[in-house]
Chain A
Amino acid sequence: MPANYAPRYTPKLVVAITLAAAVGIPIAIFGAITVATPLLKPATLDALLPSATPAARTAAKIAGMALLGLLMVTFGAIFSGVIVWWERRIAGRMQSRIGPNRAGYQGFFVWICDAVKLVLKEELIPKDADALLFRAAPYFVLVGFALTFVVLPFGHSIIVADLNVGIFYVTSVTALVVVGILLSGWSSNSKWALFGGMRSAAQVISYEIPAGVAIFIPVAMAGSLSMQDMIRAQGGLPWEWFIFRNPAAFIAFFILFISQLAEANRTPFDLPEAESELVAGYLSEYSGFRFALFFLVEFGNIWVLSAIATTLFLGGWQIPFVSAAAIDAARGAGPLPSLAWWGWQALSVVVFGAKAFLLSNVVVWLRWTLPRIRIDQMMSLCWKYLVPAAFACFVFTLFWQLAVGVAPKIELASGIGLTAFAAVLTLLFARRVALNVREVRGDKYDFSNW
Chain B
Amino acid sequence: MEKLILRRVGHTGEEMLLNFGPQHPSTHGVINFLVDTDGEVMKKAVPDVGYLHRSLEKIGEMVGYPGYMPYTDRIDYVAAMFANEGYAMAVERLLKVQAPPRALWLRAISGELCRIGSHLVSVGTMATDIGASTPLVHALREREAVNDLIEALCGARLTYNYCRIGGVAYDAPQGWRDRVLKFLDHFDSVLVEFDRLISFNEIYIRRLANVAVITREQAVDYGLVGPNLRGSGMDWDVRRDVPYGAYPNFKFKVPVGHGFRGTEGDTYDRYYVRVLEMAESSHIVRQALESMPDGEFMAKVPRKIKPEAGEAFSRVESARGEMAYYVVSDGTDKAYRIRARTGSFTAMGIIEDVSPGLMVADLVALIASLDVVAPEIDR
Q: How many residues of A contact B (CB 8 A)?
A: 38
Kindly identify, within residues 329 to 379 of chain B, every residue whose CB is under 8 Å from any CB belonging to chain A.
359-362, 364
Contact B198 A371 (CB under 8 A): yes
Check A440 against B193 for contact (C-beta < 8 Å). Answer: yes
Question: A275 to B39, alpha carbons, bound, how many Å?
Answer: 18
Inter-chain contact B141/A447, CB cutoff 8 Å = yes
Asked if residues B25 and A191 are in contact (CB atoms below 8 Å), the reply is no
The segment out of B45-53, B96-104, B123-131 that lies at the interface is B123-131
In residues 10-25 of chain B, which contact A (Cβ within 8 Å)?
A: 16, 18, 24-25
* Chain A residues, CB < 8 A from B137: 95-97
How far is B46's CA from A315's CA once the two chains are assembled, in angstroms?
55
The answer, among B26, B186, B206, for a CB contact under 8 Å with A377, is: B206
Specify which chain B residues have a CB less than 8 angstroms from the CB of A114 in the assembled complex.
none
Decide: A94 near B128, CB < 8 A? Known: A276-B25, A375-B359, A447-B145: no
Which of these, A274, A375, A439, contacts B193 with CB under 8 Å?
A439
Is there contact, CB below 8 Å, between B16 and A372? no
Question: Judging by beta carbons under 8 Å apart, are A96 and B141 in contact?
Answer: yes
- Contacts A268-B203, A370-B201, A445-B186; is A375 near B138 (CB within 8 Å)? no
Q: Nearest Cβ in chain B — how far from A233, in angstroms?
A: 36
Tell me whether A439 and B189 are in contact (CB under 8 A).
Answer: yes
B145 / chain A contacts, CB cutoff of 8 Å? 445, 447
Interface pair A191/B16, CB less than 8 Å apart: yes
Interface of B is mostly: helix
Residue count of chain B within 8 Å CB distance of chain A: 41
Would A371 and B204 count as touching, CB distance under 8 A? yes
A374 near B362: Cβ-Cβ < 8 Å? yes
Residues of A within 8 A of B187 (CB): 445
Residues of B within 8 A of A396 (CB): none
CB within 8 Å: A-B pair count: 100
Q: Which residue of B lies closest to A373 (CB)?
A: B203
Contact of A371 among B16, B130, B183 (CB under 8 A): B130
How far is A164 from B374 in the complex, measured between Cα atoms in Å?
Answer: 60
* Selected contact of A440 from candidates B189, B206, B364, CB within 8 Å: B189
List residues of chain A with CB within 8 A of the CB of B196: 436
CA distance A376 to B361 in the complex (A): 10
Q: A191-B18, A276-B128 known; A374 and B138 CB under 8 Å? A: no
| Contact partners of A436 in chain B: CB under 8 A | 193, 196
A443 on the interface (CB 8 Å rule)? yes
Q: Is B134 an interface residue (CB 8 A)?
A: yes
**When the two chains form their complex, are residues A96 and B131 in contact, meaning their CB atoms are under 8 A apart?**
no
Which of A191, A198, A270 has the most CB atoms of chain B within a 10 A radius of its CB? A191
Query: Which of chain A's residues have a CB closer than 8 A to the CB of B203?
Result: 268, 370-373
- List the 10 closest A-B pairs by CB distance, nearest first: A372-B131, A445-B186, A95-B137, A371-B132, A444-B186, A276-B26, A371-B130, A371-B131, A276-B129, A371-B204
User: Which positions in B face A, CB cutoff 8 Å?
Assistant: 16, 18, 24-26, 39-40, 127-134, 137-138, 141, 144-145, 148, 182-183, 185-187, 189, 192-193, 196, 198, 201, 203-204, 206-207, 359-362, 364
User: Other than the known A372-B361, A447-B141, what 7 A-B pairs have Cβ atoms closer than 8 Å?
Assistant: A276-B129, A374-B207, A374-B359, A376-B359, A439-B189, A443-B186, A445-B187
21 residue pairs from A and B, CB less than 8 Å apart:
A94-B134, A95-B137, A96-B137, A195-B360, A199-B40, A276-B129, A277-B360, A277-B364, A369-B132, A371-B198, A372-B131, A372-B207, A373-B206, A375-B40, A375-B361, A436-B193, A444-B189, A445-B182, A445-B186, A447-B145, A449-B148
